[in-house]
Structure 1
Amino acid sequence: MENNSSPESSEKIVKQNGIVSNQLSEDGITNESLGNDHIGVEILSVKPEKLYEAISTLRGYGFNYLQCQGGYDEGPGKCLVSFYHLISLGDIQDIKEIKEIRVKVFLNRDSDLSVPSLYKIFKGSDWQERETYDMFGINFADHPNPTRLLMPEDWRGWPLRKDYIQPDFYELQDAY
């Protein structure tokens, strides 16, 4: 048996950006391709200050529905992430390819945890952004109603952060 791979050919492996990432770059929107997920959906990362412009442009490309917005914590001392899953609700008879994209914004937990609200582009982001704020403390600038959604207004902290310390006792005496 002959091995056709040489050390020179293995060094030539280059990470390629996805189609949407390349198009955004051509349109002057800085982004980073994160490859594809397990089902082949392209994932890209943008800086917080470029999010609104990137999402507006993606909407112009035909990604006209915000299916999901949420957040997650990579772990203590690591980034908090605000993510967006956009799909295209085009002509239902023209399903030759699935049109969907995932966009992530990585935020240093020790600095400004603020991203622009997408409410002006997608009205459905209202409660999703409020839930992400409520659970992770990510602020959405220019949100029309930036109040807690799930937790009481006087709750301290962000319950889904991995470094969250649950209070031992939270006003249980008022329940009886």
Structure 2
Amino acid sequence: MQGRLSAWLVKHGLVHSSLGFDYQGIETLQIKPEDWHSIAVILYVYGYNYLRSQCAYDVVPGGLLASVYHLTRIAYDIDQPEEVCIKVFAPRSNPRIPSVFWVWKSADFQERESYDMLGIIYDNHPRLKRILMPESWIGWPLRKDYIAPNFYEIQDAH
């Protein structure tokens, strides 16, 4: 099922995939990493001027990593703000996604946390370094295949 924003992106020739709607009726779109920065700028110009949150997760052990952006379109002439969820998937072997820090400044600490916990590299982020773990920490603690130091019990991730 295609939503309003997806139809608008198709009309303007912007490549994406519609992932439907979540339980609150918010449209969810998938954007390729190489298209994400230009589409982020277009969405900002279109009116999505507020990055409500950014997070990331490990889809499956050994599989893709996902960076999720919740955007809101806030304007004085509308009663109900419009929201959209954008998912950008990156391969585990080289998880690189363009940073949207220069579009929405609120992405700063959120992208740093995703880098720190999952190892997603946000290209062109001005201060991409660990924010929660010490700089000497090895590995990415929220990856499903992560084995904590001094913890050798084999666990089934499912």
TM-score (norm 2): 0.91
Structure index of larger Rg: 1
- Whether 1:102 and 2:102 are equivalent positions in the alignment is no
SS in 1 for 2:108: helix
Aligned residue-pair number: 151
Question: In the alignment, which residue of structure 2 is the partner of 1:139?
Answer: 121
Task: State the Cα distance separating 1:26 from its structure 2 match.
Answer: 1.9
Question: 1:102-149 deviations in whole A, cap 9, x for unaligned?
Answer: 000111213x21011111111111111100000000000011011110
Q: Which runs of 4+ in 1 moved over 2 A?
A: none
Letter in 1 for 2:143: R
SS in 2 for 1:146: coil
Task: Extract unaligned runs of 5+ from structure 1.
Answer: 1-15, 170-176
Question: In the alignment, which residue of structure 1 is the partner of 2:136?
Answer: 154
Distance (whole Å) between structure 1 residues aligned to residue 78 and residue 106 of structure 2: 25
Question: 1:134-173 deviations in whole A, cap 9, x for unaligned?
Answer: 000000001101111000001000001111100018xxxx
Distance (whole Å) between structure 2 residues aligned to residue 25 and residue 109 of structure 1: 29
Task: Extract unaligned runs of 5+ from structure 2.
Answer: 152-158
Q: Choose which of 58, 63, 73 in structure 1 pairs with 2:58.
A: 73
Distance (whole Å) between structure 2 residues aligned to residue 145 and residue 94 of structure 1: 36
Task: State the Cα distance separating 1:35 from its structure 2 match.
Answer: 0.2
Task: State the Cα distance separating 1:27 from its structure 2 match.
Answer: 1.7
TM-score (norm 1): 0.82
Task: State the Cα distance separating 1:25 from its structure 2 match.
Answer: 2.0
Task: State the Cα distance separating 1:61 from its structure 2 match.
Answer: 1.5
- Percent sequence identity is 44
